Structure 1
Amino acid sequence: MQKKTTCLSVVASLILATNLYSQTEQLSTIEISSSYLKSNEKTATFSTEIYTNDEIKKSKAKDIYDFLNSQTSINIAPSYGNSFTQKIDLRGYGIGDGYQNVVVSVNGRRINNIDMQPQLLSAIPLSNIKKIEIIKGSGSVQYGDGANAGVINIITNGKNDNYIMAHMGNDDTKGGTLSLGFNNENLIINALLDYSSTNGTREDSSNTKDSNHNRNRKVELIYFPTENLELRAGRTLSDMRLKYAGSLTKDEYKSNPNQSNGFTEQYFNSYLTTLGATYNLNKNYSFDVNYNREDKLSEFVGSSKSQYEYESFNASFNIKKDDYSIVLGTDTFDGDRISSSNITNKTNKSLFVSADYQVSKDLKFSAGMRREKVEYEYNPTSGNSLGTAEYLNAYDIGVNYSLSDSSSIFANYNRSYQTPDIDRFFSSSWTNIGGTWVQTVSSFNGFIEPAKVKNYTIGYSNIQKDNKLKISLFRSELTNEIYYYNVGGANKNTNIDKSHKYGLEIFDKYLINKNLYASINYSYIIAKIDNENEENGAYDGKDLPGVSKHNLTLNLGYTYKKLNTILSYTYRSSAYAANDFENNFEQKQEAYKSTDLNVSYDFKNIEVFAKVQNLFDEDNGLWIKDDSIYPVNFERTYYAGIKYKF
């Protein structure tokens, strides 16, 4: 570790020595696009973390998972080796099931699944993203079910840039993007083609490797028939095929993380249709309506196959005055999973209202509530059908006070909930397919309770032309946190009776001079189990497994004329293995460490770029239990490419 720290210090010293210029670039307060209520980083009554298109482009991340893991406070890890649907952890819900406690939305459309599959972010090309907004400890009024830790809002481009891009790297990695955008005063037409593939990094005894490919195609039309009316329509097709390797014992992992005892092969495709309209009655009143339908197929080659049919609809009436805003909305979702043995359905229907009031120049209040009905139906091809329904409420109250033109403080109280996914109602058996343990439904488990959370957050923001500082303290008190119990041959989905989480979050970006900036994103998180009767108190007072106490990302960026370079460092401290609820496994989750370096150069309409990930060749892995380790970003990788704008 000392050697690596020294390397970072040397690079920093060399760059700092070039501090010969006065400040020209300036930081600014960013508007929050995804909220129905008008707000920005400084006036928001909740904790925010926002990344612009420029920051996303400069990172040269290979995909959205890479960007979130290396640039934000979010912890990302491949799901049992599956790099296309990775696990997400925000605010200490654990790398095991944390993804079910955060809502991910794309232009307002939530992409959370009705079963235990993580959100599919690989269908969103990074080059098509305009902004990423992370709302922490809030969002349950607008997004409802699952927004316990918060919401990750992804906003794509209004009009695409025109460019073609290609890259190549080690392990026969290659990819390309064609982006087209046309507009006049009444019409925007976008088209995007995106492809990536790799020969893989892990290999079995027969020289088979974990190869994969990912293809995304999108066409979008935005039409303005009148000054006050906007109509939207889009069609997206994504298909992926991948082989991902199984777990290794600790001895195997330490001797050669590139090896594999077998592979799981999966095929996945998605057809998405989006329709929407916004009508402005005048400058103060507007309607917004959106409809989405997604048809998906997930097939484990040689094993199981499931089809998914998702339909969602939301509508809102928005009132925006000089000193207050009000939104009245409805939000519905209807999802089916269809397999050879059953059809399972989950339906969400909700109404919500949210408002903010600017009491004075410096003081703003916000409040909102949501009422949601969640219904389940299980219809097997043989046997009795099952069903149940839940009625749940979400609340949010916040206040923001401006201390000066550049600084403010806020406080927020949020009530949220997470209903079980359709897999949680069944106990499960596990089958080893090609070296990977695959979960299969075996018997009805019972309609377990939804999780309910009380979130408390206070924070401070100071945004100046050369420095952006955000600090927040949070505490979350949970009832019936959902988890999978698997001890001594007994296995079922159930609830942790009482648990809590608290922590400190710090973000700071400082423009040292016109060429150089530094940023830090740090979170300290404690997640505790207070009371769990399943093991007669054996879990009481234990740490929730899979939660790192210390999470850190550092960035040092340098620009000289057309040259841009960023040195990044990501660190997650050690934790208990994902299944270690009693905190007594022999093996713990080791600390995650990765140093990345990217360089790009612009010349007229051409940009050339290169990136090295895990510069110091660190060994990284995801520990599920003793001798069940999935290597993650465990070797040095690199790629280079060219982008032509026209």
Structure 2
Amino acid sequence: MNKIQTSSLVAGLLLATNLYSNENLSEITVTSGFIETTEKSATYATEIYTKEEIQNSNSKDVYDFLSSQTSINVAPSYGNTFSQKIDLRGYGIGDGYQNVVVSVNGRRLNNVDMVSQLLSAVPLDSIEKIEILKGTGSVQYGDGANAGAINIITNGKYENYIKASAGSNGTKNGTLSLGYANDKVILNGFLDYTKTNGTRVLSDGRKDKNYNRNKDFNIIYFPTDELELRAGKKYSKMNILYGGSLTKADYDQNPNKASSFTENYLQSYVTNVGTTYTFSPKYSIDANYFTEDRLSKYTYSSGYKSNTDYDTESFNTKLDIKGDRYKAVIGVDGYFSDRRQSSNTTTKDNKGVFFSTNYFVNQDVKLSFGARKEYVDYTYVPNSGTRLNKDLSLNAYDLGVNYQIDETHSVFANYNKSFQAPDIDRFFNYGGTFNGFIEPAKVQNFTVGYNNIQKSNKLKISLFRANLKNEIYYYKLGGTSRNTNIDKSHKYGVEFFDKYLINDNLFTSINYSYIIAKIDEENDGNGTYNGKDLPGVSKHNVTVNLGYTYNKYKAVASHTYRSSAYAANDFANSFSQKQEAYNSTDVSLGYNYKNIEFFAKVQNLFDESNGIWIKDDSIYPVNFERTYNFGTKIKF
């Protein structure tokens, strides 16, 4: 991003602060892909949310926004609301998070083990845009981009404001955002603190209280018009008590109940530096380097404690080339992570080289092609015993075409080959014994779609199919359990998004997906799972919104529905209990007076009971009661 692009972004941020008007639905530029493109001209399926849409939702955090406003399925990891699991395109709420790459300003958040991406360290107010790329991203991001990629962008000048809110269960939040910009420099500072007294209660009256603190400081400096320098530091600290699962009888009687708590303490320090240099209108280079030092501590109800240290380094660099009828990118990247536990140190290193190009046949037809070669190295070093090593060499490809029918209509088709190298936990059995180096998953994705983007209406439709080989999962049948592969499986579905500005004051939107995920062949179970549905995948997922603005007032009502599914561990589709349908109706109100904004939100208005079924009589309540939140934001 050069100085001109950054200045445009700052101007866009200032325009987006008018939250109480229905603007035209102009197409948005996808900036997190290798090569910038618009929604209408993209050769793959996109789902994009602007700062205005994020702020208008009055969501409490990133997980809440993704769950209530997008096509993504989100659920706490065994009750841990700070570390939630993500599912896109039917990979299941159990392991779906390992099949989508999540990044923040280009920094990969996927972990070396089975810990899900830590989005609690990304304050929602700091986000400028969220871009969801579906069925693509393997050339750019490599390992794990089977379903696609979720890119969170916070670049640009922060707004200057103080925000405070309070709500149910003793929830309190305070945010300070500071930003300064001139022709040479952009300075940003962000402080965010949230605490909650808890929602679930032990028999002795103790509740699952928690807190979350985030600090973020960064600078962007322009020594010349051609050169941009970036540096930043981020600190996160959080602690949470979370309850275990409930039986069906206890869940029906009182989902607030808990028999025990697990305590999780997390601490993360992230440092980033980067630069962009524009040699000429045709050539530019971009390079970024990130480090993270993270500590995770668990105290279980039994009294057992475990400490895990993570050291992660990553980099990405690319050369951009622009011609009269083409754009191309060549680059290399790497992700190196060590996990240190009391008994061993385990390492997973990824190194990749890639190439991607867009070629404009004419003003209506665009072709895209990309390829990636990635090397993965595993090292297991126990305190005593044999050192183990494993190397993998994996490929990814992406081929797409977009045809613009006219100024508002376009169609596209995309083929993507992706892979998932196993995380380091997959090589171990329950209890810590070595399981073996299982096979990487490989996926072929096919997507076709249609876009219709007008001033008052934005419509997107896509159909997809994914053929999988060696899908990774945790096998459990009878007394046997281990990490292994599903030999063959497939997924297919349709995705529908429409946002319509009925008039200057009223808008409505719907986001719907229909997904089927099937197991074709699974040899470990001697055919027991063949032809079964992948558990934890809802066939029907829908979010609808209705918004109304009048003068300085704004109201938004939304409803999220996910149909019933097999419990997360029910690969044989034989459990007596299924995952019940999820329902939540939310209503938010806002009033803007000069530089002061007042807001309020009621979540789960009709007090629906929601939970995540792992197996029979193993239910983790989630968004299971009506809650409220209100506050104010003062800009200066």
1:6 corresponds to which residue? none
2:97 aligned to which of 78, 96, 99: 99
Give % identity: 64
Give 2:309's aligned amino acid. Q
Looking at structure 2, the residues matched to 543 and 565 of structure 1 have their Cα atoms a distance apart, in angstroms, of 39
Give the Cα–Cα distance (whole angstroms) in 2 for the partners of residues 323 and 152 of structure 1.
29
Residue 25 of structure 1 deviates from its aligned partner by: 3.2
Residue of structure 2 in register with 1:236 after alignment:
234
Q: Distance in 1 between matches of 2:334 and 2:22?
A: 47
Q: Which residue of 2 aligns with 1:414?
A: 416
Q: Pick from 498, 501, 507: which aligns with 2:497?
A: 507
Check the 8 A contact 2:220/2:230 in 1, yes or no.
Answer: yes
Q: Which residue of 2 aligns with 1:404?
A: 406
Residues 588-627 of structure 1 aligned to structure 2 (within 5 Å)? 588-627=578-617
Aligned partner letter, 2:354: F
- Give CA deviations for 1:157-197 in whole Å, capped at 9, x if unaligned: 41100000000001100011000001111011100000001
| Structure 1 length-normalised TM | 0.94
Residue 489 of structure 1 and its aligned partner are, at CA, apart by 2.1
Distance in 1 of aligned mates of 2:408 and 2:594: 36
Give the letter for the 2:508 counterpart. A
More displaced 10-residue stretch of structure 1: 356-365 or 318-327: 318-327
Alignment partner of 2:534: what SS? Answer: coil
Residue 65 in structure 1 maps to residue 75 in structure 2: no
Deviations, residues 224-252 of structure 1 (Å, cap 9, x unaligned): 00110000000000000000000000000
Select 2:154's aligned residue among 145, 153, 156.
156
| In the alignment, structure 1 residue 130 sits paired with structure 2 residue 112 | no
Please say if 1:385 is aligned against 2:390.
no
| Residue in structure 2 matched with residue 362 of structure 1 by the alignment | 364
Aligned partner of 1:279: which letter? Y
Deviation per residue, 1:31-56 (Å, 9 max, x gap): 00101212110000000000000100
Deviation track 1:45-82 (CA, whole Å, cap 9, x = no partner) reads 00000000010010100000000000000000000000
Cα-to-partner distance string for 1:468-503 (whole Å, 9 max, x where unaligned):
000000000000000001222211100000000000
C-alpha distance in structure 1 between counterparts of 2:322 and 2:599, whole Å:
44
The offset of 1:339, in angstroms, is 1.0
1:283-298 matches, within 5 Å, as 283-298=281-296
Asked if structure 2 preserves the Cα contact closer than 8 Å seen for 1:45 and 1:410, the reply is yes
| 1:287 Cα deviation after fit | 0.4
> Is 2:144 the partner of 1:143?
no
Aligned partner of 2:461 among 471, 480, 485: 471
Aligned match for 1:333, one of 313, 332, 335: 335
1:61-460 equivalence runs, <5 A: 61-301=59-299, 302-429=304-431, 442-460=432-450
2:552 corresponding residue in structure 1 = 562
Partner residue in 1 for 2:576: 586
- Is this contact kept in 1: 2:34–2:329, CA < 8 A? yes
RMSD: 0.8
Tell me if the contact between 2:22 and 2:501 (Cα under 8 Å) persists in the aligned partners. Answer: no
Amino acid at match of 2:581: A
Aligned-partner Cα distance in 2 for 1:67–1:264: 26
- How far 1:322 sits from its partner (Å)? 3.3
Q: Distance in 2 between matches of 1:383 and 1:263?
A: 35
2:518 corresponds to which residue? 528
CA contact (8 A) 2:105 2:155 kept: no
- Could you tell me how far apart the structure 1 residues matched to 2:572 and 2:477 are? 10
Gaps of 5+ in 2: 1-20
Q: Name the structure 2 match of 1:436.
A: none
Amino acid at match of 1:240: M
Does the 8 Å contact 2:312/2:337 carry over to 1? yes
Q: Distance in 1 between matches of 2:33 and 2:466?
A: 22
Counterpart Cα distance in 1 of 2:415 and 2:86: 23
Distance in 1, Cα, partners of 2:130 & 2:188: 20
Equivalent-residue separation in structure 2 for 1:297 and 1:487 (angstroms): 34
- Equivalent position SS for 1:444: coil
List runs of 5+ in structure 1 lacking aligned partners: 1-22, 430-441
3-state SS of the aligned residue for 2:223? strand
Question: 2:500–2:508: 8 Å Cα contact kept in structure 1?
Answer: yes
1:51 aligned residue? 49
Q: Check the 8 A contact 1:38/1:325 in 2, yes or no.
A: no
User: Counterparts of 2:205 and 2:283 in 1: how far apart (Å)?
Assistant: 63
Say which SS state the counterpart of residue 443 (structure 1) adopts. Answer: coil
Counterpart in 2 of 1:575? Answer: 565
Q: CA–CA distance in 2 between the matches of 1:470 and 1:616?
A: 30
| Equivalent pair of 1:128/1:157 in contact (CA under 8 Å) | no
2:467/2:491 contact within 8 Å kept: yes
**1:37 is matched with which residue?**
35
TM-score by length of 2: 0.96
Deviation sequence 1:483-539 (CA, Å, 0-9, x none):
001222211100000000000000000000000000000000000000001111010
Distance in 2 between residues matched to 1:386 and 1:254, nearest whole Å: 48
**How many Å separate the matches in 2 of 1:24 and 1:69?**
23
SS class of match (1:295): strand
Deviation at 1:375, TM superposition (A): 0.5
| Mapped pair 1:495 → 2:485 | yes
The AA in structure 1 aligned to 2:366 is K
The DSSP-based 3-state class of the residue aligned with 1:364 is strand
Determine helix, strand or coil for the equivalent of 2:430. Answer: strand
Alignment partner of 2:395: what SS? Answer: strand
The match for 2:16 is none
Q: Determine if the alignment matches structure 1 residue 641 to structure 2 residue 628.
A: no
Contact 2:318 2:331 in 1 (8 A): yes
- Is 2:94–2:568's contact at 8 Å kept on the other side of the alignment? yes
Letter in 2 for 1:119: Q
Amino acid at match of 2:507: Y
1:112 match: secondary structure? coil
Counterpart code for 1:466: S
Q: CA deviation at 1:24?
A: 7.1
Task: Give, in whole Å, the separation in 2 of the partners of 1:618 and 1:274.
Answer: 43
Provide the C-alpha distance between the structure 2 equivalents of 1:176 and 1:25, rounded to a whole number of angstroms: 29
Pair 1:63–1:593, CA change in 2 (3 A): same
Deviations 1:543-586, CA, capped at 9 Å, x for gaps = 00000000000000111111111100000000000000000000
Aligned mates of 1:218, 1:529 — CA distance in 2? 44
2:30 partner SS: coil
CA contact 1:204–1:259 (8 Å) conserved in 2: yes
Cα distance in 1, alignment partners of residues 67 and 41 from structure 2: 27
